[in-house]
A and B are shown apart, each in its own frame.
Chain A
């Protein structure tokens, strides 16, 4: 609901808000420029003294005005011609033109009415209202995302556009609320909807009838410092019934031109004061610094508009159409989705497609639509639940727990929960866990133990799918592509071959950096931005499922590199191994944000075997800042599959690699990478105690062996791999 209230006003008002914010930001400069340019009065100068000085220079002076910036302007009439100038209060002489600034006037009219009169004013007021709604709903969304108001500035994760959107918003929102709320007030005031009109003092009952009392001698003007002056109007020459009119920060009064007495006075009303304060807050006139700050914040609006549209488009793209969705009443399998941004729907679509292909009838719907009584033909219920923020229900699962708890008893249909989350958050899959706990408390039979998917990992999902397939007696291969990938053609530049001697032909394939469109660059999509450890997907000719390979290079390296081992009968690896320089292959990029070394300078322990060395070598190559990197590399034989063996000495000399420990599995004394770890136990413990991080890449068996070895090594220090994982200091990329 809040999201919809944020999205639609935002999209509708985008153009209007861009005009409003850019013109507002430009206008914010003027009060500050005014403040700097205007000659300021000396401290203690009174209105009387100033009026004397000006009258000495311009005897025909009619009015003296002081703007909130301190600029003093005098208007006079001499020899039948009107004159005006900005006055230097020290001398009373004109120093600059008093004509309004045409650029400022143009911008002001654009900003408040699009040059369209009252209709334009109302349109711009609607824009301000949209801005206010966007600010408030946006703030609520940020609080929900970061896990509460107290975590307002918590670190963000996720795609760049969404992060930028929130980063700008949480700084700018204060200014935008202030600017939009004051704009609405000012519009209401302009349309006379507020009782904030100026109170004029009563017309004086009698005047002295004399003329010629110099303003410099009037007590009222002696007592009032120049800082309080707004306007002093002189009486018409020759009209003895006219009076001096004085407006100050406190009110308005009439002064007798014959004896200088204060005839009548009216204080500003409370409404006027409020309106004036609001005017100052909105325009920065009288608060130039605040104006500049608000102007800067307003500049965030176009940026948030652009990133907001990208977030919206990504969300739309990420939510696929479910083809052949069964009705809830007839489906054997009910898939209920709790998704916030839409990515979990993609997983549901993949599962739906795979189950349907396996002959099942499947219904997909939101968790918020949970209605067990409707599932007449259902034999299983599968819940795919993301988590929002600090364990809250995601948008499409709102009310699920209430509905479940309101049931007399849980359905008899066995269920499975699969949680989606990010392991680096403390509340990892918290909502899914709540659901599982509530189901257990209700005595809902379990089809599968609860599972989790870390950072949308396709590998995790495929593994969970195999488990589900086992239970259902199906051969379930879940290959999930979150977004219909945009294929890019990669051209092979060079290849280095290894492993023929050990019956494991492997190659390091290097492709040229593909051309990137401007649109991709703007969105940082496709190959516009990638790092070692990200994945490329390659769809083999004649195959339906893309295969993923870890990248051994980042965009900055200037090429795309992977390490590929030929699997017996492997369609994709076979085709890749047959590539010669100049040949091309279709590929797409998939980010793997969970497997990155990060920017910290803490020591890094890289552990890999076989082709798993690829991303780790990429990290080493990219380590130009001299971060301590310790690489444990398991291979069959140094003469056959020592990938990057030529580069390692150079990288060590350049300080990119601190230490290389190799383990050789073929030979008289087979040695695996976990054995090498045990051999360096003391140093490993030392590194981890100093904040070190562990990154493991390779096959599942190797990863399990490494985890066992680390458990043994760390136990004396009171640490466990699971503790490190929970802290985000132990990550694996396992296949």
Chain B
């Protein structure tokens, strides 16, 4: 289990007191067969006003390509410190990325949105490929991405 609690706790503690409660959440991202090399994916959260809160996962190891994850890059200024320790390999076409994190209860049903930016070499960058509000009812409901993601769901 990848513990993300600390990161998010830091970034959200100021605005949301009392998020001592956290639970494991599994994020499942399945890519379609888009016919290209492995995709870079950035999973991150924004608050109700659209401001960046923190990153959950970065699939793709070479930071020089992060600029192609347009929204994430603009929000963070390309700061690799945001994904230190939560970086993995890029995800091949047709493959599934499954990660389990401890997420604070306070992130749910409070206007937060989970975003995924995607990019594939020599293909169209796809910032905001997925944007789903984090709600307890929404858990387990798959959503489709715009270009590369066949389905994304978070399960609690």
B37 at the interface (CB under 8 A from A): yes
A541 at the interface (CB under 8 A from B): no
Docked CA distance A190–B61 (Å): 10
- Which of the residues B37, B64, B89, B146 comes within 8 Å of A190, measured between beta carbons? B64
A77 at the interface (CB under 8 A from B): yes
**Which residues in chain B, 19-44, are within 8 Å of chain A measured between CB atoms?**
35-37
Indicate if the CB atoms of A75 and B124 lie closer than 8 Å. yes
Looking at the assembled complex, report how far the CB atom of B153 sits from the nearest CB atom of chain A, in whole angstroms: 19
Q: State how many residues of chain A have any CB contact under 8 Å with chain B.
A: 25
Docked CA distance A314–B70 (Å): 59
Looking at the assembled complex, report how far the CB atom of B102 sits from the nearest CB atom of chain A, in whole angstroms: 29
Docked CA distance A100–B125 (Å): 14
A189-B64 contact in complex given A82-B146, A99-B35, C-beta closer than 8 Å: yes
B125-156 near A? 1/0 per residue, CB < 8 Å: 10010000000000000000011000000000
A197-B35 contact in complex given A100-B123, A203-B74, C-beta closer than 8 Å: no
A434 at the interface (CB under 8 A from B): no
A236 at the interface (CB under 8 A from B): yes
Residue of A nearest to B67 (CB): A198
Contact partners of A653 in chain B: CB under 8 A:
none
Docked CA distance A84–B146 (Å): 13
B63-79 near A? 1/0 per residue, CB < 8 Å: 11001001001100110
A100-B62 contact in complex given A197-B67, A203-B74, C-beta closer than 8 Å: no
- Which of the residues A62, A105, A245 comes within 8 Å of B37, measured between beta carbons? A105
A100-B73 contact in complex given A190-B62, A200-B78, C-beta closer than 8 Å: no
A236-B128 contact in complex given A118-B61, A191-B62, A197-B67, C-beta closer than 8 Å: yes
- Which of the residues A63, A196, A200 comes within 8 Å of B124, measured between beta carbons? A63
Looking at the assembled complex, report how far the CB atom of B9 sits from the nearest CB atom of chain A, in whole angstroms: 26
Docked CA distance A77–B73 (Å): 22
**Which residues in chain A, 189-206, are within 8 Å of chain B measured between CB atoms?**
189-192, 196-198, 200, 203
Contact partners of B124 in chain A: CB under 8 A:
62-63, 75, 82, 84
Looking at the assembled complex, report how far the CB atom of A585 sits from the nearest CB atom of chain B, in whole angstroms: 65
Indicate if the CB atoms of B147 and A82 lie closer than 8 Å. yes
Residue of A nearest to B73 (CB): A200
Docked CA distance A225–B72 (Å): 30
Docked CA distance A306–B62 (Å): 37
A77-B64 contact in complex given A100-B35, A102-B35, A109-B37, C-beta closer than 8 Å: no
Residue of A nearest to B128 (CB): A236
Q: Which B residues are closer than 8 A to A by beta carbons?
A: 35-37, 61-64, 67, 70, 73-74, 77-78, 89, 122-125, 128, 146-147
A-B contact pairs, 13 of them (CB 8 A): A62-B124, A63-B124, A63-B125, A82-B147, A100-B36, A100-B122, A118-B61, A192-B63, A192-B64, A198-B67, A200-B67, A200-B74, A233-B125
